[in-house]
Structure 1
């Protein structure tokens, strides 16, 4: 599937929150690398890895929510039936990939 790269899809207020979260996640990942270099206990590493995975899941949820609130809702209330169908198909494909 081809990725469309339009100008401004994400809602303006969502961007800074996501960037802030991703910056914190980046710091967590660097911390995990240091823990490995310092030969830290495996359970401590696994705990931090779970925290990063949970934080990424929260970012993913925020992006999906923004997409549903902004892009999908716009298509569903708009006049273009092809756009509505395309947005529905995108979600179906996304959910199919998540199930793998």
Structure 2
């Protein structure tokens, strides 16, 4: 696991990236400078990279605290709680 830091003007938090091909691709492009957007209790930003995706690791199930790569938008997403697609208190990604 690789620990990375997310920093904004108002906060800083740490996340652990697993050893997947996708995570390794993203890590090689760090640091990133991006504009953050929100969608419910999710923040996301365009990474400006095309990361490889482990077919076996693709999932639409996430938990609060998860960091994920959204290949369609080339974005990194951080989930803190429900999103507009959620039917429960669990985050539900757009796709």
TM over 0.5: no
User: Which TM-score bucket, shorter chain as reference?
Assistant: under 0.3
Q: RCO greater where, 1 or 2, for CA within 8 Å and sep 6 or more? A: 1
Greater fraction of residues in helix: 1
- TM-score between the two structures when normalised by the length of structure 1: 0.24
- TM-score between the two structures when normalised by the length of structure 2: 0.25
Greater fraction of residues in strand: 2
